[in-house]
Amino acid sequence: MFGEDWNEGCKACSLMAENYDGVITHLKQRDVSLVAISRAPLDRLILFRDWMGWGFDWVSSLGSDFNSDFDVGFTAEQIEGEVYYNYHLTRFPATEAPGMSVFALESDGTVYHTYSCYERGLDPLIGTYHYPDLVPKGRDEDNLS
Per-residue model confidence as pLDDT tens digits over 63-118? 999 999 999 999 999 999 999 999 999 999 999 999 999 999 999 999 999 999 99
Q: Looking at the chain, list the stretches that DSSP marks H as alpha helix, in order from N- to C-terminal side.
A: 11-17, 20-28, 42-52, 66-69, 127-130
47 vs 37: CA distance, rounded Å = 15
79 vs 93: CA distance, rounded Å = 7
Cα distances (Å, whole numbers) of residue 29 to 21, 56, 61, 115, 139: 14, 15, 27, 21, 33
For residue 4, being part of any structural domain is answered with no
For residue 41, being part of any structural domain is answered with yes
For residue 2, being part of any structural domain is answered with no
For residue 17, being part of any structural domain is answered with yes
For residue 3, being part of any structural domain is answered with no
126 vs 56: CA distance, rounded Å = 16
8 A C-beta contact, residue 20 and residue 34: yes
Helix (H, G, I), strand (E, B) or coil at 91: strand
120 vs 98: CA distance, rounded Å = 9
For residue 5, being part of any structural domain is answered with no
The domain containing residue 59 runs over which residues? 11-135
Average pLDDT estimate for 57-64: 96
- On the question of pLDDT at 2 being above 80, the answer is yes
8 A C-beta contact, residue 63 and residue 30: no
Quote the pTM value.
Answer: 0.85
Average pLDDT estimate for 9-36: 93
For residue 6, being part of any structural domain is answered with no
For residue 83, being part of any structural domain is answered with yes
Three-point CA angle 17, 129, 99, nearest 5°: 45
State how many domains the chain has: 1
